Chain A
Amino acid sequence: MRLDATTVRRLLIVLLIVAWEVLPQAGLVPRLFLPPVSATVAALWGSAPEYAYHLWVTLQEVAISMLFACVGGVAAGLVIGNSVRLRQLLLPLASAGFAIPLVILYPLFTAWFGIGPESKIVFASVYGFLPTLLGTAAGVQTIDRHLVTVARSLGASRFQQITRVFLPAAIPTVLSSLRIGGALVIVGVTVAEMLTSTAGIGFLISRYRTLLDSPHVFAAILLVLAMAIAFDWLVQLIERRVAGWQRAIRTEQAPAAAYS
Chain B
Amino acid sequence: MAARYETALIRLIIIALLFGAWEFAPRADLVNARLLPPASEVFTVFFGLIQDPGFHGHLATTLQQTLTAFLIAVPVGALLGILIAENRFAGEVFKPLVFFVFSIPKSIFLPMFILAFGISFWQKVAFGVFSTIFIVMMTAFAAVASVRSDHIRVARSYGANLRQIIARVYLPSMTPVLLEAVRLAMIFNFTGILLAEMYASRAGVGNLIGTWGRGFQIPQIMAGIVTVAGLSILFNELVRWFERRCEHWRGDR
Chains A and B directly touch (beta carbon < 8 Å): yes
- Please list the residues of chain A having a beta carbon within 8 angstroms of any beta carbon in chain B: 4-6, 8-9, 12-13, 30, 32-34, 88-89, 92-93, 96, 98-108, 110-112, 183, 186-187, 190-191, 194-196, 202, 205-206, 209, 212, 214, 217-218, 221, 224-225, 228-229, 232, 254-255, 257-260
B105 A104 Cβ-Cβ under 8 A: no
- 5 interchain residue pairs of minimum CB distance: A107-B213, A5-B92, A99-B236, A33-B116, A101-B191
**Chain B interface main SS type:** helix
Q: Which residue of A lies closest to B216 (CB)?
A: A111
Query: Of B97, B102, B106, B209, which contacts A107 at CB under 8 A?
Result: B209
B236 A258 Cβ-Cβ under 8 A: no
Report B-chain residues with C-beta under 8 Å of the C-beta of A33.
112, 115-116
Query: Of B111, B187, B228, which contacts A104 at CB under 8 A?
Result: B228
A12 B97 Cβ-Cβ under 8 A: yes
Report A-chain residues with C-beta under 8 Å of the C-beta of B195.
101, 103, 191
A9 B212 Cβ-Cβ under 8 A: no
Greatest chain B CB density within 10 A among A98, A191, A202, A232 is at A191
A259 B107 Cβ-Cβ under 8 A: yes
- B232 beta carbon closer than 8 Å to chain A: yes
A259 B104 Cβ-Cβ under 8 A: yes
Report B-chain residues with C-beta under 8 Å of the C-beta of A30.
116
Q: Which residue of A lies closest to B224 (CB)?
A: A104
- B225 beta carbon closer than 8 Å to chain A: yes
A183 B105 Cβ-Cβ under 8 A: yes
Query: Of B103, B108, B213, B235, which contacts A224 at CB under 8 A?
Result: B108
Query: Of A32, A101, A183, which contacts B228 at CB under 8 A?
Result: A101
B105 A225 Cβ-Cβ under 8 A: yes
Report B-chain residues with C-beta under 8 Å of the C-beta of A209.
111, 114-115
- Please list the residues of chain B having a beta carbon within 8 angstroms of any beta carbon in chain A: 7, 10-11, 14-15, 35, 89, 92-94, 96-97, 99, 102-112, 114-116, 131, 135, 138, 141-142, 183-184, 186-188, 190-192, 194-195, 198-199, 206, 209-210, 212-214, 216, 218, 221-222, 224-225, 228-229, 232-233, 235-237
Q: Which residue of B lies closest to A220 (CB)?
A: B108
User: 15 extra interchain contacts, Cβ-Cβ under 8 A, other than A4-B92, A33-B116, A100-B233?
Assistant: A9-B96, A32-B115, A92-B11, A99-B236, A100-B228, A101-B228, A104-B229, A191-B108, A205-B111, A214-B115, A217-B112, A221-B112, A258-B103, A259-B104, A259-B107
Query: Of B11, B107, B222, which contacts A190 at CB under 8 A?
Result: B107
Q: Give A259 to B235 CA distance when docked, in angstroms.
A: 21
The 28 sampled A-B contact pairs (Cβ below 8 Å) are A9-B93, A33-B116, A89-B11, A89-B14, A99-B183, A99-B186, A99-B232, A101-B232, A103-B198, A104-B198, A105-B225, A107-B198, A107-B210, A107-B212, A111-B213, A183-B103, A191-B107, A194-B108, A209-B111, A209-B115, A224-B105, A228-B105, A254-B102, A254-B141, A255-B103, A258-B135, A259-B102, A259-B106
Report A-chain residues with C-beta under 8 Å of the C-beta of B192.
260
Q: Give A98 to B232 CA distance when docked, in angstroms.
A: 10
B108 A101 Cβ-Cβ under 8 A: no
Q: Give A104 to B105 CA distance when docked, in angstroms.
A: 18
Q: Which residue of B lies closest to A190 (CB)?
A: B108
Q: Give A103 to B110 CA distance when docked, in angstroms.
A: 14
Q: Give A87 to B170 CA distance when docked, in angstroms.
A: 33
Report B-chain residues with C-beta under 8 Å of the C-beta of A258.
102-103, 135
